[in-house]
Structure 1
């Protein structure tokens, strides 16, 4: 049987064939749905290929009211440089996305009406939704889409992580988009002509730094001139305290009737101590939480009138040595033996238990997991504290005191504490430094030895392209390895899952053997919402969508 995309073109045979291997595993099904929809299949088609019905949407949305949302409140900046989901969750009120990623694994059209990907993944045809207007009254067209993609490809913009997602379209000599790569075919069609295949572009468009901005956008005027296509506008933003969105009554939203139910959304910052979230809930100051970890999940479960929402994800933490960082004039983590010793001393199952109370599954220090379609199983890692100490001595670092840094919140602090304890048990000297969030995130990518959390991403190759490829804005490991880069380039160009897995096993083993990071576990995520709140359940990628929440 032939299956088709939204535009009527047939899906690639490799995608169709992979439906049969999705089996009964929820994880495998979700990742198949991601692949099929990334190539342009509707959710109904993708579910039909699995012999399943499309899940019913929640009903009972009431128009009006206020929602009080516990979350960190951060300063706005150029979306390409967003490095924290909370920034996007506020600007999402008026800055929308071409594509959205759903908890079931599917990609859903937003400002794009549909898209078509050639079987060799070298040509993308993006069909821009008609009838969309910016809230200043001007038309939203293919020119706007092309301009944003061109901006994503500007590697000279400091902190532009979108350049990592769209590296295939970038000219390495100019650090700008390749000539002829982004073509406005007509007023509502953009064609992307890739020099090499890349299966990750649609998933990249759904990531939180991919907010679509007008030509007039500047970070300095984001609040005073909030031009966007979405149904809300910012009323106020006080960093670290509170932000407020209100429905934009002067703007006719393209999706009117299917969202924007709430009149007013208050983003309230209670810091990073989960006990403050509990106190706020008990005092009736909030209606939903951003995310809750560890024992505080159980505490919230005892509160009357609150609902537990959970989702299985590829969200994680990395505890990484920065290979480029200098300490007292030396680069201690440029020595592979030092990195290997650190990883060798740590039992990831202990970090899972002490960090998030066992709510998740252990990982293997290469940032690809069973929830990714291309994951390849490696031999079990061996924990060897004595061998770690000997390796550190061999590197001449037996007397070196490592300063291990983390943010001051619960699960990240607890996980990092557990790393320090195991390193000390192995005879490796460690000093712990714990910083408040307002300080920690200023230089998160530059610390010599620290922990950082990472969001779920649909494909393993996406994570690698963002964080592990040489020279990327989010490569906090300071790692540059030509062999790995070549493996990744080939994997990004391989739509067939089994063929890609054969490449991934090489890359996974290389990341692990190089001691690039301790990436200890995959998290199950939890948040809580008040009874009667619809659309506030935990998103797999930490998204909060103002247009989708409502009181029932």
Structure 2
């Protein structure tokens, strides 16, 4: 007999959860979509998983005839006992670190997240759960959110985490002088005057406009919770609630973190996490990282390129874990500068993408083809569209029309800037060759990562690596609204119709209705937007086999609290 759930109890958490449950029963949304909706609205992950199982179709009756005898199963391998101690060493570039709210690259976040923590956590399954929070509750119109902190969590200086620390941190996110990408992402909050301290463990958000993504936004990588007395430099003041203590950070060289003995989370053995004694990051380039991983000098490397994946996939001492993502190498054009302020020129360059060819040349086919909108198939609201074809003749006609009007002689000479650590050079070279028949003469300006990140929002034409976000409604306000100019809106593009539709989508719980809105959002981006995108990346975590509880996170995050090393 199939178990049942009490829809009245669902409704007591939030009125929309039983509606989503009925959609799941009717096969109108997927199990993962139900889990996402239910957990975002305050249902625990365990309860949501149980409810999803209850909604599954009943198991068909067994056939009348006796089935053939099943082959004997091999005995399951005994799971090794967890062992404490040991060091994990990772090859990863180490750039300038100061204020965590200004983090704009995942590498820095992978160091900071070991010391400081988030109110929520979005796991490898793309489901968001409470972390420093005990729970959250959303009003029926998702304009009021109540956040409840876990009690008894302490910073590594001995102070208890309270609402004062959270309010201080939020004030840093929303301070234009700090320069955090959170400011654009959370523009719907309306400012700190809408953040209320109810008591020492309870914060209430009174949003200017409804938004379903609050829990996921609280795991955006600059959103670590800071101590109320933080003065602006995490290297000088490495105070956090995390499982490790920062012992050393030398930009471009090495970072070392050691186990914190009084961490608040407990391991399976009943003792405080983490299991490992030490984490070390060494700042070396990708080629050196591959060699170091092959020789056993390091245990993992950050964000392997497809060529690295090919070189390491069959190594007997390594385990490869794959994740499909919303990570991309975005071709972006600054619409406040000529010639990219003319949509004909932008469209012409987009038409020069032979997406399948670029994916094969740059990424060995290890990805999903994309339309020219920053919404991926892994996003629940993604609206499937035909993949645009390579059309150099149409691109040439548009470029010739523009050139005749402006009195410009073709070919159009432009410079494409990017970095060299994530297959960007291969994408850039392919685009250079594919765009030549249309009348583009592209020069390439390819630098080390630091050389691009120092100017990534300023170049007029570039390829920028964008990491994974679990919701389409999360990435778009980071980069494609007016409020994000000065932070992560590197193209300076915004569109009033687009913004109005995005705000509507942010407050729409019904995933089918939200997907319908995204059909229009994607059309706008393709027709007059500032970006091209050939494919969405697969990513890999490649780690030595003696390490357990390792996960491949779609954002390439290192979640190290429960990782342990076999003797």
Q: Give the counterpart of 1:514 among 528, 536, 539.
A: 528
Corresponding residue of 2:24: 19
Deviates more, 1:482-491 or 1:136-145: 136-145
CA contact (8 A) 2:90 2:300 kept: yes
Matches within 5 A, 1:142-181: 142-154=163-175, 156-170=176-190, 176-177=191-192, 179=193, 181=194
Q: Mark the runs of 5 or more structure 2 residues left unpaired by the alignment.
A: 1-5, 56-78
Match of 1:68 in 2: 89
Closer, same or farther in 2 for the Cα pair 1:410/1:131, shift >3 Å?
A: closer
CA 419–4 in structure 1, closer or farther in 2 if over 3 Å, else same: farther
> Aligned partners of 2:169, 2:351: CA distance in 1, in Å?
44
- Cα deviation 1:479-535 (Å, max 9, x = unaligned): 021111111111111111111122111111000001421111111111211112023
Would the alpha carbon gap of residues 502 and 371 (structure 1) be closer, same or farther in structure 2, given more than 3 Å must change?
same
The CA deviation at 1:36 is 2.2
What is the rounded CA distance, in whole Å, between the counterparts of 1:18 and 1:453 in structure 2? 36
TM-score (norm 1): 0.91
Distance 1:83 1:18, change over 3 A: farther
Structure 1 residues 142 and 524 mapped into 2: Cα distance closer, same or farther (>3 Å)? Answer: same
Match of 1:322 among 327, 334, 353: 334
The structure with the largest alpha-carbon Rg is 2
In structure 2, the CA distance between the partners of 1:517 and 1:11, relative to structure 1 (3 Å rule), is same
Q: Give the aligned partner of residue 58 of structure 2.
A: none
RMSD over equivalenced CA pairs, Å:
2.2
Matched, 1:452 2:454: no
Give, in angstroms, the shift of residue 414 of structure 1: 1.0
8 Å Cα contact 1:6-1:40 kept in structure 2: no
Preserved contact between residue 4 and residue 10 of structure 1 (Cα < 8 Å): no
User: 1:48 — aligned with what?
Assistant: 50
Q: Give 1:210's aligned residue.
A: 223
Q: 1 CA distance for matches of 2:481 and 2:529?
A: 15
Q: CA 1:304–1:12 in structure 2 vs 1: closer, same or farther (change >3 Å)?
A: closer
The equivalent of 1:487 in structure 2 is: 501
SS in 2 for 1:523: strand
Shift in alpha-carbon separation, 1:51–1:258, aligned structure 2, 3 A: farther
Residues 379-409 of structure 1, C-alpha deviations (whole Å, 9 max, x = no match): 4423310111111111115332010111122
1:140 aligns with 2:166: no
Native 8 Å contact 2:399 2:439 kept in 1: no
**Superposition pairs for residues 178-193 of structure 1, below 5 Å?**
179=193, 181-193=194-206
Q: Deviations over 1:269-306 (max 9, x none)?
A: 112x3x32221023221011212122321211232211
1:9–1:323: structure 2 CA closer, same or farther, 3 Å change rule? closer
Partner Cα separation in structure 1 for residue 277 and residue 84 of structure 2: 8
Which of these residues, 313, 325, 329, is aligned with residue 313 of structure 1? 325
Deviation digits for residues 229-259 of structure 1, max 9, x if unmatched?
Answer: 112111111111110001133x443546363
Q: For the structure 1 residues 482 and 234, does the alpha-carbon distance in structure 2 shift closer, same or farther, using more than 3 Å as the test?
A: same
Quick one: distance in 1 between partners of 2:33 and 2:433?
Answer: 36
Distance 1:467 1:4 in 2: 39
- How much has 1:52 moved relative to structure 2? 7.8
Distance verdict in 2 for CA 1:433–1:183, change over 3 Å: same
Secondary structure of 2:356's match?
Answer: helix
Secondary structure in structure 2 of the residue aligned to 1:395: helix
TM (norm. structure 2) is 0.88
Measure how far apart 1:536 and its partner are: 3.0
Q: Which residue of 1 aligns with 2:303?
A: 291
Deviates more, 1:470-479 or 1:392-401: 392-401
Asked whether the 8 Å contact 1:3–1:16 carries over to 2, the reply is no
Moved more, 358-367 or 137-146: 137-146
CA spacing shift, 1:22–1:113, aligned 2, 3 Å: farther
Any idea what SS the aligned residue of 2:281 has?
strand
Deviation at 1:410, TM superposition (A): 5.0
In the TM superposition, what is the alpha-carbon distance from 1:4 to its structure 2 partner? 5.1
1:352 to 345, 355, 359: 359
CA contact (8 A) 2:300 2:543 kept: yes
Report if aligned partners of 2:348, 2:395 keep a CA contact under 8 Å in 1.
yes
Distance in 2 of aligned mates of 1:21 and 1:516:
39
Q: Does 1:121 align with 2:142?
A: yes
Distance, in Å, in 2 between the alignment partners of 1:259 and 1:419 is: 48
Q: 1:413-441, CA deviations, whole angstroms, 9 ceiling, x for partnerless residues?
A: 11122111111133311111111112111
- 8 A contact 1:5–1:40 mirrored in 2: no
CA distance in 1, matches of 2:355, 2:368: 10
Partners of 1:386 and 1:247 in 2: CA distance: 60
Q: What's the CA shift string for 1:159-215, capped at 9, x where partnerless?
A: 311112211112xxxxx43x3x21111221111112321111111001111010112
8 A contact 1:33–1:105 mirrored in 2:
no
Distance 1:59 1:189 in 2: 41
User: Secondary structure of the equivalent of 1:334?
Assistant: coil
Match of 2:260 among 236, 248, 252: 248
